[in-house]
Structure 1
């Protein structure tokens, strides 16, 4: 493994830790309804920070966009919109399933699709047959690790409900199905980045470094994601008459703003890591990013007492799943470097 690749892996570790914990502040915005939190989070993470970061890093940013054809701009925009729908489902799933289980299902599906689709659509010629076998093995181990983690979460949830009532937990299957749909849509943000590289190429032509040029993709992709997120938040704010909460507890703006900083910071670092990881950066890098997100989210769940009182078999499944994810990390990291 070269120093450049090692730096890329290191960046994905930090990015995964930030993204895996970005929803944690949501637990502390107690005086706001979820739609208040999501509205501010969306504005900060999908509008303010992406554009501010791009203007700060990419020279002649507006000239980059003016030089591009409409279809080159629409590709990341539309993929971003699909991912925006996943974000709405993500918030619902996390509230219904908890951070550990919700992340495992959503990020699990997103990791598999987000790793394999860019690989087979545009990067297959950059990897040897032996390297491809390692990647596929890493994906299989990753799926097993995620499945064990989710299974442990389900055992934990069943035990919790049994303590409260003799009736089976209702709504769990529906919650899992919502999380799976979210997982199918979630990697569309990676598709926006992987298949929107025309923006980065144009930015590089205007003298930007490859790392800086990569940032040109995010404002367009995340603008697509902003539309469904803001639209849904406004709908809920209007339906639930939640607008007044912004004035009654203005200090709560800190928590969703922090969520936005952590989230956008994570994706900014992921964009850098994809450059350092080379031709397969948007496939291998995405898989590693998702693995580290799951690990970080699980640790957050443990530290915030989400797993307190869980049965021993649930903890065993969780630990085994984490070991599987570590194995997948090694397979993906050393797949042919």
Structure 2
């Protein structure tokens, strides 16, 4: 159990840090940076990892029952749409509120999906895990409040377009769709593990195999979106810059960290046992948010924020940490 929690913590750490290189790209618009990142992250890296590390990977894929593979494809495609909707929500309601609603929905719903698929654990375990998730959600809400206070103090707004109601709706629906990631991992990991082991590979490689299916499927939705955005805004020419090599390296680092984080989460869920999907998912997402907050503090994003905003941020961060400790304790019962 302890080993699984450590792996989940490491996965969250990597996910919380993966976007840092984006700050150092040059001559790219948002769509160029993230379009290139997603192309590398969802298509290039999964193929290199899966076909480079897993023996007989084509046989592994063909061994997955058609019904499960179809379910994984659909839910992963919805995950890709959900990620894109989060970006649109930020345009309406700003980063802080959009991030809080999106991640809060993911943690709440995504952590419960394994219970729906695999069944409920003992009541004492269930109550402890749900209590921990509730404390985490309180922390997410306070982090959102802190961000909103900082935006008001610094005169920042999401955009003049659209309404608050529309933005909240998009963020919540996007979060719901993004939980397709949890569903795909929950239904796919057991059968993929069997296929991986049957082809003389160590069991841990099943984490890479399941993420291959998720990322490739979700990547289709993401590629369609960014292809449309780059064309609509006439941004394809921005790839012709002397900084292209530098930007490709930075976005590749982002892609490696992100894919490794997801594969590490899948392995953590496997090591955590029957409640691994729920516990691992909660720890994974909570730690990633906490790390992103701490990195923001280290890079002085909050240096000019008021005492009230910082107090809300610190309380939210503390609540999230307490929450994942409770979740971990519930898994150990």
Give your verdict on TM over 0.5.
yes
1:106-185 matched pairs, under 5 angstroms: 106-124=102-120, 127-161=121-155, 173=164, 174-185=166-177
1:242 aligns with 2:238: no
C-alpha distance in structure 2 between counterparts of 1:298 and 1:177, whole Å: 24
Cα 1:200/1:88, change in 2 over 3 Å: same
Show CA shifts across 1:256-280 (max 9, x none): 2222111111112111211211121
C-alpha distance in structure 2 between counterparts of 1:270 and 1:98, whole Å: 28
Per-residue deviation at 1:302? 1.8
C-alpha distance in structure 2 between counterparts of 1:314 and 1:131, whole Å: 35
C-alpha distance in structure 1 between counterparts of 2:302 and 2:169, whole Å: 22
Corresponding residue to 1:192 among 184, 189, 195: 184
Corresponding residue to 1:268 among 258, 263, 267: 263
Corresponding residue to 2:275 among 280, 284, 301: 280
1:283-322 matched pairs, under 5 angstroms: 283-322=278-317
Unpaired runs of 5+ in structure 2?
A: none
Over the aligned positions, Cα root-mean-square deviation in angstroms equals 2.3
C-alpha distance in structure 2 between counterparts of 1:53 and 1:85, whole Å: 24
Per-residue deviation at 1:102? 4.3
C-alpha distance in structure 1 between counterparts of 2:92 and 2:16, whole Å: 17
SS at match of 1:241: coil
C-alpha distance in structure 1 between counterparts of 2:57 and 2:161, whole Å: 50
Q: 2:65 aligns to what?
A: 69
SS at match of 1:208: coil
Per-residue deviation at 1:316? 0.9
Cα 1:323/1:48, change in 2 over 3 Å: same
Cα 1:188/1:66, change in 2 over 3 Å: same
* Segment drifting more, 323-332 vs 208-217: 208-217
C-alpha distance in structure 1 between counterparts of 2:318 and 2:274, whole Å: 28
Q: How many residues are matched?
A: 327
Check conservation: 1:200, 1:215, Cα contact below 8 A.
Answer: no
Per-residue deviation at 1:170? 7.5
Show CA shifts across 1:71-122 (max 9, x none): 2211111111001012212344567767665443322210111111112331
Cα 1:61/1:170, change in 2 over 3 Å: closer
Q: 1:50 aligns to what?
A: 46
Check conservation: 2:117, 2:187, Cα contact below 8 A.
Answer: no
Check conservation: 1:23, 1:259, Cα contact below 8 A.
Answer: yes
Check conservation: 1:76, 1:217, Cα contact below 8 A.
Answer: no
SS at match of 2:304: coil
1:12 aligns with 2:21: no
TM-score normalized by structure 2? 0.90
Corresponding residue to 2:208 among 215, 223, 230: 215
C-alpha distance in structure 1 between counterparts of 2:298 and 2:98, whole Å: 16
1:227 aligns with 2:209: no
Q: 2:325 aligns to what?
A: 330
